[in-house]
A = this chain, B = another copy of it.
Amino acid sequence: MRLKRVVLERLMRYHRFLSQTTASKPIQTITSAQIAEALDIDPTQVRKDFGAIGLVGIGRVGYQVEDVCCAVRTVMGFDKENPAVLIGVGQLGGALLTYPGFEKYGLSITAVFDSDPAKTGRSKAGHTIRSIRSLKPYIRKHGIMLAILCTPVEVSQTIADRLVSVGIKAIWNFTPTDLAVPPDVLVRDEHISLGLSEIAYHLKKL
């Protein structure tokens, strides 16, 4: 069965927690209760999630940390290499380019594009910025599936349409727009304004 978004996010949290924990002091096994305690989740939830990706624990012992990490990485597809293009090299796009954590998850940015002629040809974080006109040919030629969208909000839908037309299958959307795409294309929104709403509301209630 296809895993839901909430499950994927929890799996990611387990993985991160275990990576960080084992980095400081090596441990062989861990119980669902320990994970639940640290992440403020119900222990049953942890066991169900683990069960969903085929992990089995041992009574009175728990789960092999190694196995858990491995299973999560496999299920998520972090072993598979995912080439991606990044579009829009502004402040945020630039910051993402230098983010060192992507390769750990199999993501590699292979080309970056911008519509500003003043930027094209220049180099940023080891990437030569290409003209937006070469976007479609590039994607087609290299069979790119994933685009990271960091453009101004006015052009994001236009670019998204172009991406879809050449076969992009997932858009990581850092622009504050609700993109319209066909149902087989995944859009993952990363608008920080959503987070801001939760914060502002909380502060107001004090």
Residues of A within 8 A of B (CB): 2-3, 5, 8-9, 11-13, 16-17, 20, 38-40, 75-78, 80, 82, 91-92, 94-95, 98-99, 101-102, 105-107, 145-146, 153, 169-170, 172, 176-178, 180, 186, 188, 190-206
Q: Which residues does chain B contribute within 8 Å of A3, judged by CB atoms?
A: 201
Interface of A is mostly: helix
Q: Can you list 28 A-B contacts with CB-CB less than 8 angstroms, sorted by A residue number?
A: A3-B201, A8-B197, A8-B198, A8-B201, A9-B194, A12-B197, A16-B191, A38-B178, A38-B180, A77-B205, A80-B204, A82-B200, A91-B95, A91-B98, A94-B95, A102-B196, A105-B193, A145-B203, A145-B206, A146-B199, A146-B203, A169-B203, A170-B199, A170-B202, A170-B203, A172-B196, A186-B199, A186-B202
